[in-house]
Amino acid sequence: MLLTPQIVDTSLYDDAVALAAYMRASDALGPLVDFIDELDPSLHQTALLLIGNLASDAFDPESGLSKAILKEVGCFERAASPVLE
């Protein structure tokens, strides 16, 4: 993954907002969600961590826009499926 949890966790406010806006504008949220289905736990856990940050109001005040895209690409159902199985 090009984005690491460390980058996201240590992003300053302006950087976090810019990163989230870039992820939305470049249609990168869908491919990020695809990592949820990876068998390698480090990949799907990292994807979930990144998605959680990108969907957080504390990380990005425009996170509602990210959440709408994540909903559109089926993120929430895919993230819950291992828990429900």
Query: How confident is the prediction along the chain (85 residues), in pLDDT tens digits per residue?
Result: 455 566 666 667 888 899 899 999 999 999 999 999 888 888 888 899 899 989 999 889 999 999 999 999 999 888 887 554 5
Domain of residue 67: give its range.
5-84
C-alpha to C-alpha distances, 4 to 9, 32, 51, nearest whole angstrom:
9, 12, 12
Is there a contact between 9 and 55 (Cβ–Cβ < 8 Å)?
Answer: no
Domain count, the chain: 1
Q: What is the pLDDT of residue 42?
A: 86
